[in-house]
Structure 1
Amino acid sequence: MSSFARRLGIEHPLIQAPMAGSTSAALVAAVSAAGGLGSLGAGYLEPQAILDQATQIRAGTSRPFAINLFVLPDDLEPDMAAVARARERLDALMEREGLDVRTTMPARWAPRFSDQFAALCEARPAVASFAFDLISPTQVHELKQRGIVVVGNATSVAEARAWAELGADAVCVQGAEAGGHRGSFLHAPEESMIGLFALLPLVARAVEIPVIAAGGIMDGRGMLAAEVLGASASQLGTAFLACPESTAAAAWKRDLPNVEEHRVVTIRSFSGRAARGLRNHYVAMMEPGVDALPLYPVLNALTAPLRRAAAQAGRGDLLSEWCGQAAAMARNLPAGELVALLMDEYDSAARALG
C-alpha cells in the first residue's frame, strides 16, 4: 500500500473517478466499502443535494470518500445572441429526431460554486477534488482546517505545478485518454491532449506531492503500469460506468461494449467545454459550427432537456456518451466485485513482473 493510500485511510491505490451525472451515492459507497476511494461528482449539484448525497454515502459506508467540484465563476454573462442561435439549432434537431421537448431558459446556468464549496465544507468528506481551475489559497486553508485532503486536476506539468504551489496535497494527472470533461485551465484543450504515460513521469519528476493517474486505465495491469511510472494511485472512471450502481443512461451502458477506440473523440457541442466521448449522431450533426455555440456551462444547460429526453427514449445516439479511450473494456459488474477483480489483476500483474 502506498503512503498516500494510508494517509487517505483506504486499502487499495484505487480511486473511482467523480463522473458528474453518472455517480450515485450507492456507487461511491460501494467502492469505498470495498477498500477504494469512492468519489461523488458534484459539479452539477445544488448545495442541498451535495449534503443529501453525502448523508446517503455515509449510510452505505463508514469508509472515506471524496467529493469533486467544477471551479467556475459565481456569475456568468453569456453571449445572448449565441444562446439564441444555439436554441434554434437544438430545437430544430429535436424536432427532426422526434423528441417532444424544446430548449428552455434556466433560472441559473449552473449552481454557484461558492455555495457548492460551502456545502462541501459542511459535508466534510475525506477528500475534496477540483477541476476546471484552481481554488483560492483561502479555500485551500478552509479545507485543510477541516482535515480535508485537497486534490487538483491537471492536464500538463504547468498545471500540476500550479496546484502544488497552491498547497494541494496531491494532483490528479488527466491524460488525453480520459473520458469526460477536460480539466485544462492554463492551456487550450488541444494543447494539453498529452498521453497519460508520457505525462505521468514528467509530472512525477516536477512535483513533490503524490500523483494520481487518470485516463484509459481499465484493469489492474494499467494500475500497476501507472504505479511504475510514478503514480501513488490510479483513478478509473469509464471502468465503473457499466456498474449497476452507476446512473449512466441504459442506452449509454448498452453502447459501451461496442465502442470503437477511433470513435472516441474530443467533443464541445454538448456542453461548450472540451470532453472525451463517443462520436455519435448528435456529435456528427452539431460539432460542425461548434465555435458559434456558447461556452460551458451555458450550452450544458441548454442541451439538458434533449439529453433527458434522449435517455428516456433509449436514444444513445443523442446522448453525451462520455467515455475513455478503452471503453469497450468496461465490465458490467457490481462496483464492489469490480474493485476486487481490479486488485486481483493488479496483484497478478505484480507477481508476473517478479
Structure 2
Amino acid sequence: MNQWPDTRILDLLGIELPIIQGPMAGATNSSMVIAVCNAGGLGSMPAAMLSIEKLREELKTIRQGTDKPFNVNFFCHQPPAADEQRARDWKNLLEPYYRELGADFDAPTPVSNRAPFDAAACEVLEEFRPEVVSFHFGLPEKSLLDRVKATGAKILSSATNVDEAIWLEQNGCDAIIAMGYEAGGHRGMFLNDDLSSQVGTFALVPQIVDAVKVPVIAAGAIADARGVAAAFMLGASAVQVGTAYLFTPEAKVSASHHKALRTAKDSETAITNLFTGRPARGILNRVMREVGPMSAKAPAFPLAGGALMPLRAKDEADFSNLWAGQAFTLGKELSSAELTRQLAEGALAKLAR
C-alpha cells in the first residue's frame, strides 16, 4: 500500500501502514505489539505499569517476535508530594463501600503507582534501542530525552490542544499525536488542567496540522476505516487506535471490562479522576455515578487508585476502571493483525473514491 496521500509517518518510522496501536497500560502486552508490527502497523508497548525487569522481558520478547519497528510508551509526570490528609479524606469518602462489601477499612491502604520515565528505564531503551519512543503528559527532562534521541529513536508525544503541540515540536518531538477529547484512557494534557477547554479530535487535528511542521497522528474515536480516512482528509499522516484493539484476543482485559465494552451504550463513557487522580475516559460504573465521575477529593495522580483496590477485589465491575473511547461500540471481534490490515485497506479504498 503506497497510495497514501501523506507518507511522512511511514517514511519517518519505517512502517508499512499508518496505523499505530495505542499503548494501553494493563491491556497491552508483547503479543499484541508483535501482531500489529508484523501486520505492517506500529505496535506500542506501554511501560508505565511495568517493573524494569518486566519491561526488559517484554522488549526481549518483542525483538524475538518481529524484526519490524515498534514503539515503547512512558508516562513522564512528576510524582506527587505526600498528602496524608487528602488520602484520609478520600478513604473516608469511600468508607460506606468498605462496610457494604466487607472490605477491611482499617488495613493499610495499598499503593497505586504508575512510574514516570527515569534513568533506569532509559538504560533499558539504550539496551534494546526501539525505533520509536512515545511519551504521555509532555516530555521527560532534557538530559533523559537527549539520551533517548541518541539511540536513534523517533520521539512522539500527545497534545490535547495547539499550545501543547507547538511546545512538543519546539522541545524535540518528531511527530505529534493529536489526542481528541473523545479518546479513551488518560488525557495527555500537561500545560493546563482545564477539562472544559479540551478539544474534540476532528476539530483538533486540522488546527494542529496548521500549527506545526512535523507530521500529526490523529487519536480519539477512531475505530474503523471511516475514521482513518477522515483523519487523513483533515491532514493527519497516521492514526493511533486504542479502544478497538481491546476487542482483540490479544488484549488483556478483565471479565468486567470485556463485558462492559460489549454491552454498554454509546453514551455511557465519561471523564473521571477516581481511579488514578488524573482525568481519563472510561465506561460508567457504580462508583463513577455515585462519587464522581470527577471528585476534588481524589488524591493526585497516580495515588487515588490505592483506596479503591480493596473494593475492586470485592466487586471488579463497579470499582475498577473500564477505559474506553467514545467510539467503543464500533469495536469488532478481530485479531490485532486483522484489525490493523482492515483499518488500512478500508481507509485506502475510501480515500481512493
Contact 1:66-1:128 within 8 A present in 2 as well? yes
Alpha-carbon shift at residue 259 of structure 1 (Å)? 2.6
Residue-by-residue CA offset, 1:26-50 (whole Å, 9 max, x unaligned): 1111111111000011112222221
Q: Is the 8 A contact 1:267 1:275 kept in 2?
A: yes
Alignment pair present for 1:295 and 2:300: yes
Alpha-carbon distance in 1 for matches of 2:261, 2:241: 15
Q: Distance in 2 between matches of 1:192 and 1:294?
A: 22
Deviation at 1:230, TM superposition (A): 1.0
**What count of residue pairs does the alignment treat as equivalent?**
347
CA displacement 1:56-102 (0-9 Å, x = unmatched) = 222222211101111122x5322111112223344542442456898
How far is the alpha carbon of 1:214 from its aligned partner? 0.2
Structure 1 residues 320-353: Cα deviation after superposition (integer angstroms, max 9, x where no partner): 11100011111122111111221231122123xx
Q: Distance in 2 between matches of 1:128 and 1:318?
A: 32
Q: In the superposition, relative to structure 1, how do residues 101 and 231 fare at CA in structure 2: closer, same or farther (>3 Å)? A: farther
Worse overlay, 265-274 or 93-102 = 93-102
Alpha-carbon contact 1:50-1:123 (below 8 Å) kept: no
| Residue 247 (structure 2) pairs with residue 246 (structure 1) | no
What is the alpha-carbon distance in structure 2 between the residues aligned to residue 46 and residue 129 of structure 1? 18
Residue in 2 that maps onto 1:258: 263
Q: Which runs of 5+ in 2 are unaligned?
A: none
Query: 1:322 maps to which residue?
Result: 323
**Counterpart in the other structure of 2:117:** 113
In structure 1, the partner of 2:24 is 19
1:85 pairs with 2:89: yes
Shift of 1:205: 0.5
Secondary structure, counterpart of 1:57 in structure 2: helix
CA distance in 1, matches of 2:89, 2:193: 24
CA contact (8 A) 1:14 1:233 kept: yes
Instruction: Return the letter of the residue paired with 1:271.
Output: T
1:274 & 1:306 partners in 2: Cα distance? 20
User: Aligned partner of 2:84: which letter?
Assistant: M
Paired with 1:171 and 1:265, the residues of 2 have a C-alpha distance of 25
Give the CA deviation at 1:210: 0.8
- For residues 205 and 114 of structure 2, what CA distance do their matches in structure 1 show? 32
Please give the secondary structure, in 2, of the residue aligned with 1:162: helix
Residue of structure 2 in register with 1:236 after alignment: 241
Deviation at 1:116, TM superposition (A): 2.9
Q: Distance in 2 between the 1:284 and 1:123 partners?
A: 43
Q: Tell me the SS of whatever aligns to 1:292.
A: coil
TM-fit CA distance, 1:243: 0.8
Q: Give the match's secondary structure for 2:296.
A: helix
Instruction: Tell me if the contact between 2:112 and 2:304 (Cα under 8 Å) persists in the aligned partners.
Output: no
* 2:187 maps to 1:182: yes
- Within the alignment, does 1:96 sit opposite 2:100 as a pair? yes
* Cα deviations by residue, 1:151-181 (Å, 9 ceiling, x for unpaired): 0110000000000000110110100010000
RMSD (Å) for aligned C-alpha atoms: 2.2
Q: Cα gap change, 1:335/1:108 in structure 2, threshold over 3 Å: closer, same or farther?
A: closer
CA distance in structure 2 between the partners assigned to 1:341 and 1:102 by the alignment: 51
TM-score (norm 2): 0.91
Segment of structure 1 superposing worse, 30-39 or 116-125: 116-125
Q: In the TM superposition, what is the alpha-carbon distance from 1:293 to its structure 2 partner? A: 2.0
Alignment of 1:260-279 (within 5 A): 260-279=265-284
Q: Report the identity percentage.
A: 35
Structure 1 length normalisation: TM-score?
0.91
Q: State whether structure 2 residue 232 is matched by structure 1 residue 227.
A: yes
> Aligned pair in 2 of structure 1 residues 300, 124: CA closer, same or farther (>3 Å)?
farther
| Cα 1:289/1:70, change in 2 over 3 Å | closer
Instruction: For 1:192 and 1:51, locate their aligned partners in 2 and report how far apart those are by CA, in whole Å.
Output: 38
Aligned to 2:139: 134
Q: Distance in 2 between matches of 1:92 and 1:113?
A: 36
Q: Measure the CA separation in 1 of the matches of 2:281 and 2:293.
A: 16
Give the equivalent residue in structure 2 for 1:341.
Answer: 342
Contact 1:104 1:302 in 2 (8 A): no
159-168 vs 298-307, which deviates more?
298-307
Instruction: Tell me how far apart the structure 1 counterparts of residues 183 and 272 of structure 2 sit (CA, whole Å).
Output: 13
Alpha carbons of structure 1 residues 19 and 92: separation in structure 2 relative to 1, 3 Å:
same
2:176 is paired with a residue whose SS is: strand
Q: CA deviation at 1:146?
A: 0.6
- Measure the CA separation in 2 of the matches of 1:149 and 1:105: 39
Per-residue Cα deviation, 1:207-227 (whole angstroms, up to 9, x for no partner) = 000100000001111111101
Contact persistence 1:90–1:103 (CA under 8 A): no
Residues 182 and 189, structure 1, Cα contact 8 Å, conserved in 2:
no
- Cα distance change of structure 1 residues 79 and 24 upon mapping to structure 2, 3 Å threshold: same
- SS of the counterpart of 1:45? coil
